[in-house]
Structure 1
Amino acid sequence: MEHWKTYFNNLFGDNIRVGISWGSLGTGQSTNLFTTTLEQWENLLLTPGVNFINLEYNQTVKDNEWLKENSNIKIHKLEGIDLLNDLDSLAAVISNLDLIISINNINSNLAGAIDIPTFTLVPNFWYYLFGTKTDYFFPKSKIFTWKGNNNQSHSIHNANKNLNLLIKKLPRAESKRNAFRQTLGLEI
């Protein structure tokens, strides 16, 4: 864990760190009901003052091509870690981030399990909500459901709006990252 703390401190200094994940390894027809595309995240990824860290374990050729075409979008890719199979290292990475924004997958669940604030993007029929907007398993997880059967952009837009509201509340003179972590209820 100390390795990743030093790594992120050297790379991003005192800036806000948000881990993101948009896809899944699922191959069935229902996979599209639970995943998003990277393109749908464009506005969120342009949020000023935030360093985005790629936690996606199934980044596709299409994702890579889109990132090349949109060179103004910066997502930091971690080297030397197997995001799918090395859960200890993944947990260490996540514990050194300020917020996770993800569909419901290993990243959102692991973040919830280690008490890292998470914006979880789920279909509007998500069965664990029991008709509410609360994730009873992970208290620091805020749920964003998509509108209708397959409108993921709605949930991403609302997550983006919430992220920007949190950032706007930050005091100007203080350390942005420490203030952001306090806003999310994290120790500084």
Structure 2
Amino acid sequence: MPNRRSILEKAKAADLRPQGVDGKGLKKVLDRAKKFFRRPSRHAEESVERHVSLMAQSVERRDWHAARDHALALGLLGEQLGDPGLVKKAGRGLRRLGGGNRAWQLIASSKQVPGRPEWDGGDLADCKLAVERREGDLAIFFQFASLLGPVVATANRCTVLVEPRLAPLYRRTYPALDVRLEGEGEVAAVDADVFASFETLAKFFWPDEPTARAPFIPLEPDRRLVAELRSTYLNRGSGPLIGFAWGSLNKSKDLPALDDWRALLGNLPGRLISLQYGDVGPALAEFERWAPGRIIHDASVDQLSDMDRFAAQIAALDAVVTISNTGANLAGALGVPTVVMLDDGFRLSWPAFGDTVATYPTVRLVRKGGQEWASAMQEAGGRVMQIVGGVGDGR
């Protein structure tokens, strides 16, 4: 695994102005889907290869029902073959395709650790439970944070290992939770009777029946800091306060060019708060020409080193409009009204269809849909205006 410090230093120095991308049409979706479901040749059974191929073709056609059927078949085949890699990939595909609880069953199964007792959904009243991410990016801690509420309420004790920057958020949201930092020791050394990945929690607390799902619990920011930042931004001019972010280190993303932001930023009201990491200077100089005197870059906030202050910044806003990134997931976990603009890639973080996200009730998705970015940007702007229509200096 790459050194986290080196990754953060690279991100801080990066000029993330999107580059022009030619030829990223629907063919790219097929290529991504094939790569997503690529498997070791030792399990190249004919039935698996057939479903992989049909799955990719269904994604290309945007036939999500057929794609889900093939992902379900791949999950069953993975279980029959004892292939945790295929089980995980099928589960992750189902997560995007509306596969319901079956997605969590498959992913949780693929992440089990041999020789370590996995929680089976039983009574936790007399049990000590340890929760860990096992693998995955930072978004996991945002997408599954709500699931710790019912665990803390019922377990004798619950320990969770988190990425160090998120410890304050987790401790503030769940005071009874025993929050430990990843990297401070082996999870097996934690005093626990049973263990679980976050997907294991989802398996038991997010069933197929929507009315039985554990309720959404937003992460709790530092409210004093939220008020302080909001006051500081409003001292620069009237609201609403709208956050935005435009760049990513992920070069596979088809992102709006800076010029695509011109109409959106020019038409939005109030103060526009940069939520972008990296070297933002070159981009902000262009944005300032389109929304003169309304762009705010707060140098006191550095999400790469102080996620708690970044959370307070987002919570101080009335709305967020952004590409898919960590900030989008954090805004969703905080319960801030957010519009996320998605390209046509078959990506893990968001549903393949629809405009809502079950894990983030306040997030709405706007899709590029095989067109130029201009139409998606216009739709995103309209959605933001619906959010902030009645918002001025207060809330």
Q: TM-score range by the shorter chain?
A: 0.7 to 0.9
Q: Give runs of ≥4 in structure 1 deviating > 6 Å.
A: none
Tell whether the 8 Å contact from 1:134 to 1:143 is kept in structure 2 after alignment. Answer: yes
Structure 1 pair 16–25 and aligned structure 2 pair: CA distance change class (3 A) = same
Pairing 1:5–2:224 present: no
- Flag the 1:74–1:6 CA change in 2: closer, same or farther, 3 A: closer
Answer 1 or 2: higher relative contact order, Cα 8 Å, separation at least 6.
1
Please identify the structure whose Cα radius of gyration is greater. 2
Are residues 1:96 and 2:330 paired?
Answer: no
- The structure-2 alpha-carbon separation of the partners of 1:177 and 1:7, relative to structure 1 and needing over 3 Å to count, comes to closer
How far apart are the structure 2 equivalents of 1:113 and 1:132? 19
SS of 1:162's equivalent? helix
Q: How does 1:23-38 map to 2 (within 5 A)?
A: 23-26=247-250, 28=251, 30-31=252-253, 33=254, 35-38=255-258
CA contact (8 A) 2:248 2:325 kept: yes
Given the two structures, how large is their TM-score scaled by the length of structure 1? 0.75
Q: Deviation of residue 76 (structure 1)?
A: 0.9
Q: Which residue of the other structure, out of 276, 287, 303, is the alignment partner of 1:56?
A: 276
AA matched with 1:88? D
**Alignment map for 1:168-183 (pairs within 5 Å):** 170=390, 176-178=392-394
Question: 2: distance between equivalents of 1:63 and 1:50?
Answer: 19
Structure 2: where are the runs of 5+ without partners?
Answer: 1-224
Q: Which residue of 2 aligns with 1:39?
A: 259
Bigger helix share: 2
| Count of residues paired in the alignment | 168
Residues 1:20 and 2:244 aligned together: yes
Answer yes or no: is the 8 Å Cα contact 2:344–2:368 preserved in 1. yes
- Provide the residue aligned with 2:366 in structure 1: 144
Give, in angstroms, the shift of residue 162 of structure 1.
Answer: 2.5
Conservation of the 8 A alpha-carbon contact between 1:45 and 1:74: no
1:162 paired residue among 352, 371, 383: 383
Identity of aligned residues (%): 22
Q: CA RMSD in A?
A: 2.6
Q: Separation in 2 of the partners of 1:134 and 1:125?
A: 17
Distance in 2 of aligned mates of 1:165 and 1:19: 15
The amino acid that maps onto 1:43 is: A
* Distance in structure 1 (CA, Å) of the matches to 2:237 and 2:293: 16
Cα shift readout 1:126-161 (whole Å, capped 9, x = no counterpart): 54314322212211001000131x733322111112
Q: Deviations over 1:60-94 (max 9, x none)?
A: 56524524655737311112221333211100000
